[in-house]
Chain A
Amino acid sequence: MKKRIKKRLFGKKVAIPAISAALLFSLAACSDSETSRSKSKDEKDSKNEIRIMTTAYTPDPPSDDSPVLKELEKFTNTNITMNWVLDSAYQDKLNITLASGDLPDVMMIPSKIPSFVSAVRDGAFWELGPYLKDYPNLSKANEITLQNSAIDGKTYGIYRARPLGRLGVTFRSDWLNNVGLETPKTIDDFYNVLKAFTHNDPDGNGKDDTYGMVVSKYNGPWDIMQIWFGAPNKWGEKNGKLEPDFMSDEYMNALKFFKKLYDEKLINEDFAVMDPQKWGDPLLNGQAGVIVDVLDRGRRADEDLKKADPSLKEPIDILGAVEGPKGLRSLPTAGYSGLLAIPKSSVKTEKELKQVLTFLDKVNEEESQKLAYNGIEGRHYEVKDGKLVLLTNNDQALINEFTDLNQFHMGIPEDRFIKPEMTPVREKEQVILKENEKIVVPNPAESFLSEVYAQKGQQLDNIINDARTKFIVGQIDEAGFKDAIKLWRSTGGDDYIKEINDLYKKTKK
Chain B
Amino acid sequence: MDSLKVQSVETVDPGYNAAKNTANVEIKSDITKFQRLKRDKWLYLLLIPGLAYFIIFKYLPMWGIVIAFQDYSPFLGIFGSKWVGFENFIDFFKNPDFFRLLENTFILACLDLVFFFPAPIILALLLNELRLQAYKSVVQTFIYVPHFMSWVIIASITYIFFTTSGGVVNEIVSLIYGKEINFLSAPEWFRPLIMGQIIWKESGWGTVIFLAALASVDKEQYEAAIVDGAGRMRRLWHVTLPAVRSTIVVLLILRLGNFLDTGFQQIFLMSNSLNRSVADVFDTYVYFVGITQGAYSYSTAVGLFKGIVGVVLVLGANKLAKKMGQDGIF
Task: Mark A residues whose CB is within 8 Å of B.
Answer: 13-14, 17-18, 20-21, 24-25, 28, 91-92, 95-96, 98-101, 113-116, 118-119, 122-124, 217, 268-270, 272-273, 275, 345, 455, 457-459, 462, 465-466, 469-470, 473, 475, 487, 490-491
Contacts and interface: CB of A to CB of B under 8 A. Distances in A.
Given A270-B164, A466-B276, 10 more contacts: A20-B52, A21-B48, A101-B74, A101-B75, A113-B293, A122-B75, A122-B76, A273-B185, A273-B272, A455-B295
B294 A462 contact: no
A236 B252 CA distance: 56
A273 B182 CA distance: 10
A116 B272 CA distance: 26
Nearest to B76: A122
Interface in B112-162: 159
Contacts of B289: 458-459
A96 B163 CA distance: 34
Interface size class for chain B? 35 or more
A462 B97 CA distance: 12
A475 B273 CA distance: 11
A25 B56 contact: yes
Interface string B252-270: 0000000000000000000
Given A101-B74, A345-B75, A473-B274, A20 B49 contact: yes
A99 B272 contact: no
A345 B49 CA distance: 36
A98 B273 contact: no
A179 B164 CA distance: 27
A119 B292 contact: no
B278 interface: no
A122 B163 CA distance: 46
B56 A119 contact: no
Given A95-B292, A101-B75, A491 B96 contact: yes
Contact of A217 (B73, B77, B165, B273): B273
A272 B273 contact: yes
Nearest to A117: B294
Nearest to B184: A273
B41 interface: yes
Given A99-B296, A466-B276, A119 B74 contact: yes
B16 interface: no
A118 B73 contact: yes
Q: Which of B41, B74, B272 has the most CB of A within 10 A?
A: B74
A122 B73 contact: yes
A17 B48 CA distance: 7
Contacts of B182: 269, 473
A457 B184 CA distance: 26
A123 B296 CA distance: 18
A92 B45 contact: no
Contacts of A20: 49, 52
A401 to B, nearest CB: 29
A469 B291 contact: no
Contact of A92 (B41, B74, B291): B291
B50 to A, nearest CB: 10
B130 to A, nearest CB: 39
Contact of A21 (B52, B96, B184): B52
B288 interface: yes
10 contacts: A14-B45, A98-B74, A99-B74, A99-B294, A101-B74, A101-B75, A115-B294, A119-B73, A122-B76, A270-B185
A269 B52 contact: no
Given A28-B56, A272-B185, A487-B96, A95 B164 contact: no
Contacts of B76: 122
Contacts of A98: 74, 294
A167 to B, nearest CB: 21
Contact of A91 (B45, B159, B277, B292): B292
Given A119-B73, A475-B274, A273 B163 contact: yes
Q: Which of B76, B165, B293 has the most CB of A within 10 A?
A: B293
Contacts of A14: 45
A13 B52 CA distance: 16
Contact of B52 (A17, A115, A118, A345): A17
B34 to A, nearest CB: 15
B185 A473 contact: yes
A271 to B, nearest CB: 9
A269 B49 CA distance: 58
Interface in B169-194: 180, 182, 184-185, 187
Contacts of B180: 269
Contacts of B97: 459
Given A119-B73, A122-B73, A466 B273 contact: yes
A13 B292 contact: no
B293 A269 contact: no
A91 B294 CA distance: 10
A18 B49 CA distance: 9
B292 A272 contact: no
B26 to A, nearest CB: 30
Contacts of A100: 74
B273 A114 contact: no
A268 B56 CA distance: 53
Contacts of B273: 217, 272, 462, 465-466, 469-470
A24 B292 contact: no
A217 B291 contact: no
Given A17-B52, A98-B74, A122-B75, A269 B294 contact: no
Contact of B163 (A119, A270, A470): A270
A114 B291 CA distance: 11
Q: Which 10 A-B pairs have the closest CB atoms?
A: A115-B294, A17-B48, A124-B75, A466-B273, A469-B273, A122-B75, A273-B184, A21-B52, A122-B73, A99-B74
Contact of A114 (B75, B184, B294): B294
